[in-house]
Amino acid sequence: MVVSVEVKMPHVVFIPSPGMGHMIPLFEFAKRLVKNHDILVTFLVITTEASAAQNQYFQSPDIPSGIRIINIPQVDLSNVVDDDTTVLARLCINVQESLKPLKSILIEINPNVVIVDLFTTQAIDLARELSISVYSFYTASAGLLTFSLYLPTLDSEVEGEFVDLLEPVKVPGTRPLRVEDLLDQVRNRKIDEYKWFLFHTNRLNLTDGIFENSWEGLEPLSLKAVRENEFYKSIKTPPVYPIGPLIKPGEYITEKDKEIFVWLDIQPPDSVLFVAFGSGGTLTREQLTELVLGLEMSEQRFILVARMPSDASSVAAFFNVGNDQNDPSVYLPEGFVERTEGVGLIVPSWAPQTAILGHASTGAFLSHCGWNSTLESLSNGVPIMAWPLYSEQKMNATLLTEEVGVAIKPEVEAGKKVIGRKEIERVVRVIMEGEEGKIMRRKAKELKESAEKALRFGGSSYNSVSHVVDVWTSTI
């Protein structure tokens, strides 16, 4: 007689912070837990100031039945933020206000595990109070993770501003970090942006483990450092599990989007430069003009995701990405659209990025080097024209150009404030038709194969997840 033994599976709750750069990788991880490991998942969504793109994302028809989505009711932020509140500070205040009912939610749904991201670490205390195991999902690079773990020590040892240091920051176990590459959130220690970032990084080692959205083949130095270097052991860093690259495997293509792929289908292989600045990136009016005229001068095929320029902030679209109230003819140079017809395609505000990067005609990606965009590009074997705008993107651009060798970065001419059209023309030609571009494309395709291997059954990232699932299962 065969006796069947019922194995009770863990119930995992995800608590992401707002913004597509956090929602997408955590949700993709949630889907993998359901599909590959039969985990029950509840996904909490902060709806306050949610963008149109976020709302559309969670209406996708392919959400697995094992994921329950709970929308946290909107809260009024009018008394706690104003027009001068910076993006990260606003996001963190939003999280703080939105998570006030979290304790009652957790008591009601009774999970075994809570997974937070870098900006929802307030939930760690509640999870501990309720005797729930808690893990962190680090959505950025392993390189930034090592810096984040080192930051509280750096904060205690350095007086004055980090940007005034005369030498690079010696992050334990990794390459020194140039001062000019420091992420925006640590460039002014007096403002709320820095205080919030320090608050959250200080809590990374309070969890039972850290999931890292990277893989061994992309960042071996940083991953080795965080596992083996004595500094990270001394601060009691929890186990770090590289489980990436976690990106959208496919996208729902709307009727409006289909014309993009009709156009791509008739272009030669590797001939199109895709130009997009992530979920919130914006250029100044002067820089946007130089960019599009440089594209025109290069005579290369391109898809441009056009967004209203902003002279005030490089992240002006963060809270309204996907808003269709955008007419490129209002702000692009006169005659540009007509002169580039057939060679270029202009898409207002938002485009199905993963699908475009996966198309055979896409040959390179002009990107702000946000980590999600970086992973999407490399997972599709597409080299990058690096154009960092904000946050840690300069760090990512340096990693891609100097360590990994899959990117090229245009430079600002001495005495200028923007990248000129001639430099843009030059770099576009290099990456699209030069020998250097071919080498980068080959390396990018090798990383694509490396990523696929890591995610497959028995691969390093798959095994990382399986190990943690076994830990969860053994404790319930």
- Total residues belonging to the chain: 476
Q: Please give the pLDDT value at position 350.
A: 86
Q: Please give the pLDDT value at position 5.
A: 41
Rounded to whole angstroms, how far apart are CA atoms 188 and 160? 9
Q: Please give the pLDDT value at position 476.
A: 80
Catalytic residue among 11, 37, 117, 368: 117
Whether 200 is catalytic: no
- Do 11-248+455-474 and 258-451 agree at the fold level? yes
Contact 450, 245 (CB under 8 A): no
Q: Please give the pLDDT value at position 312.
A: 80
Whether 368 is catalytic: no
Architecture of the domain delimited by 258-451: 3-Layer(aba) Sandwich (3.40)
Q: Please give the pLDDT value at position 3.
A: 41
Per-residue pLDDT 10s for the chain (476 aa) are 444 445 578 999 999 999 888 999 999 999 999 999 999 999 999 999 988 878 888 887 778 889 999 999 999 999 999 988 998 999 999 999 999 999 999 999 999 999 999 999 999 999 999 999 999 999 999 999 999 999 999 999 999 999 999 999 999 999 999 999 999 999 999 999 999 999 999 999 999 999 999 999 999 999 999 999 999 999 999 999 999 999 988 777 888 899 999 999 999 999 999 999 987 789 999 999 999 999 999 999 999 999 999 888 665 555 455 555 578 989 999 999 999 999 999 999 889 999 999 999 999 999 999 999 999 999 999 999 999 999 999 999 999 999 999 999 999 998 899 999 999 999 999 999 999 999 999 999 999 999 999 999 999 999 999 999 999 999 88
Beta bridge partners of 41: 12, 67
Q: C-alpha angle with apex 13: 7 to 16, nearest 5 degrees? A: 150
Q: Please give the pLDDT value at position 51.
A: 83
Q: Which residue has the tokens 């590797």?
A: 270
Residue 169 gets which letter from DSSP?
A: B
* Domain 11-248+455-474 CATH assignment equals 3.40.50.300: no
Contact 34, 10 (CB under 8 A): no
Rounded to whole angstroms, how far apart are CA atoms 440 and 146? 26
- The one-letter code for the residue type at 349 is S
Q: Please give the pLDDT value at position 318.
A: 52
Q: Please give the pLDDT value at position 55.
A: 83
Ranges of each domain in the chain: 11-248+455-474, 258-451
Give the pTM. 0.93
Catalytic residue among 11, 22, 200, 368: 22
Q: Please give the pLDDT value at position 442.
A: 98
